[in-house]
Chains A and B, each alone.
Chain A
Amino acid sequence: MKKIGLLFNGVWSHYTFATAPKYKDLIELIYIHDFDETSLDRLEALMIPFQSNQNAIAKRKDVIYDFLAKGKKVFIEGDSSMDWIEAKWEDRPTNNYWWVENPNNPPISDTDFTHPIYEGLTPRQSCWHTHGSYTSMPSQAKAIQKKPDGEIISWETQQYGGTLFATTLDPIVEHGVQQITHLDHYVDKLIFWLSGDKASGSFDVPRENYGIAVSC
């Protein structure tokens, strides 16, 4: 039974990720414009990927906070237009090629490897690139990942009931894009933390998933 919902903005990387045979039985796509309180019935966790429609989410933020109040988990890859959480994201240049030019100086220098998502990951598996920094976070939040200059990349808080985890990493979108080949490690740990379910096998992309019709 699927325990994780993924707020779906109609973006192909979200679709490719959630429909891959490796993940399709674990993740339920929830189209953002159909998202309401009934969408999260039976689910234990919610993923909100990068490339989401933040205005549409903001209109429905009570659904997310009510879900958290029930003790559930929410994982957010946000962006700087996100004004519905008590934290501030500021854009920073994305460096996709640090591993080519300066491999000993990754964008993230400080990770709490005791956190269940990161436990057992290598530094390379826990950071590929970042899209910004959090310059503030909720009052009771704890930083999980920081850059060399001390700026916060990932944080977590239980102050809303369940666990809210936010990061400027983009594992869901990038795993869907499939240009970074080592993301199974991060994403599979994330899925286990969110649901207790283990994903296994390789990330396949069935041809028949493309060219689908949508009923109006």
Chain B
Amino acid sequence: MIQAAVISNGLQGIHRYFVSNEKVNYSVLEIEEDFNPDLTPYDLLVVPNGCDHIAMAKIKDKVASFLEEGNALFCFDGWFTNWIPGNQWVMSNEKKTIDIRYKVKTDTYNLFEGIDIDKLIYNHNISGWWACGYIDASKNADVIVEDTWQRPIIVLDEKTTNGTIILTASGPLGDSGAIPTDDESSYSVLGQLYQNMLSLIIKKINHETSMF
């Protein structure tokens, strides 16, 4: 079992979507004044959708050290501050959501195995519901998914630091989903993709895979 820290800035849903199980033990770290958590007990840091990127920027050096020690970071949000090494999320409203399509580009670890990418593109036949903006990705990173205009939407970066960074352009994911829904078929993919990402991290921690 791996140890994961989930950052919470007081929004509802975090405790529902990140429930400890046989694979991973989740600890929710609540952001309060003078937020300065001890990350040393954890293998994985999860920054879910709707997080506080002022607080994260204030612990930027601590996150960098955490990654240099070989640990993992998931960020499924729009980090407008510059706290993630080598990669920057950028908001953009220049493109129309009706034109948004996603394509798997470089998926070395088969994270999209069993994933119907159309579920990330369409909801009730309307496109552009899941992610926002794009990632200005490190040249060292793999772009797993790009959009219509070849902008990175999901990124895996194993080279900028000694750790593993997996990012979405504010596309919500979670251990058991990420959005309250009355339409389970549209949103179950959010948990499935997360599980594939989590399995990669567990394998890496257990040295069952390598970057080559």
Task: Tell me the A residues contacting B by CB distance below 8 Å.
Answer: 8-13, 15-16, 31, 33, 51-56, 79-81, 91, 93-97, 100-101, 177-179, 203-205, 207, 209-214, 216
Q: Tell me if A54 and B89 are in contact (CB < 8 A).
A: no
Q: Is the CB of B93 within 8 A of A55?
A: no
Q: State whether A9 and B33 are in contact (beta carbons under 8 Å apart), knowing that A178-B93, A210-B90, A214-B58 are contacts in the complex.
A: no
> Which 8 pairs show the lowest CB-CB distances between chains A and B?
A10-B52, A53-B10, A12-B78, A214-B57, A97-B124, A10-B54, A178-B93, A93-B182
Select A11's contact among B50, B97, B125, B129, beta carbons within 8 Å.
Answer: B50
Q: Is B31 on the interface with A (CB-CB < 8 A)?
A: yes
Determine the distance from Cα of A178 to Cα of B97 in the docked complex, in whole angstroms: 9
B77 and A12: CB pair below 8 A?
yes
- Contact of B91 with A210 in the complex, beta carbons under 8 Å: yes
Mark out the residues of chain B between 61 and 104 whose CB falls within 8 Å of any chain A CB in the assembled complex. Answer: 77-82, 88-94, 97
Determine which of A100, A101, A203, A209 lies in contact with B80 in the assembled complex, contact meaning CB atoms within 8 Å. Answer: A209
> A-contacting residues of B (Cβ < 8 Å)?
9-12, 31-33, 35, 50-58, 60, 77-82, 88-94, 97, 123-126, 128-129, 132-133, 136, 170, 180-182
**Quick check: A211 and B90 within 8 Å, CB to CB?**
yes
With A and B bound together, what is the CA distance between A11 and B78 in angstroms? 8
Q: Which residue of B lies closest to A203 (CB)?
A: B93
- 13 sample A-B contacts, Cβ–Cβ < 8 Å, listed by A number: A12-B78, A12-B80, A13-B78, A54-B10, A55-B10, A56-B32, A81-B10, A91-B180, A94-B180, A210-B133, A211-B80, A212-B80, A213-B82
Interface SS of B by simple majority: loop
A82–chain B nearest beta-carbon distance, Å:
10
List, in ascending order, chain A residues with CB within 8 A of B88's CB: 210-211
- Are the CB atoms of B12 and A31 closer together than 8 Å? no
Q: Is B91's CB under 8 angstroms from A11's CB? A: no
In the complex, which residues of chain A have a beta carbon less than 8 angstroms from the beta carbon of B80?
A: 12, 15-16, 209-212
CB pair A12–B170 under 8 Å, yes or no, is: yes
- Knowing A10-B52, A10-B54 touch, does A212 contact B81 (C-beta < 8 A)? yes
Query: Across the interface, do B52 and A11 meet the contact criterion of CB distance under 8 Å?
Result: yes
Query: Shortest Cβ distance from B107 into chain A, in angstroms?
Result: 26
Closest to B183 in A: A97
Do B10 and A9 touch across chains, with their CB atoms under 8 A apart? yes
Residue from A95, A179, A203, A216 within 8 A of B132 (CB atoms): A179
User: Which chain B residues border A16 with CB–CB below 8 Å?
Assistant: 78, 80, 91
Whether A53 and B9, one on each chain, are in contact in the complex, defined by CB atoms closer than 8 angstroms, is yes
B206 to nearest A CB, angstroms?
34
Complex Cα distance, B90 from A205, in Å, reads 9
Which residues on the A side are within 8 Å of B35 (C-beta)?
33
Cross-chain contact of B53 among A10, A101, A203 (Cβ < 8 A): A10
* Chain A residues, Cβ within 8 Å of B126: 97, 100
**Given A9-B52, A12-B78, A179-B128, do A213 and B57 touch, yes or no (CB 8 Å)?**
yes
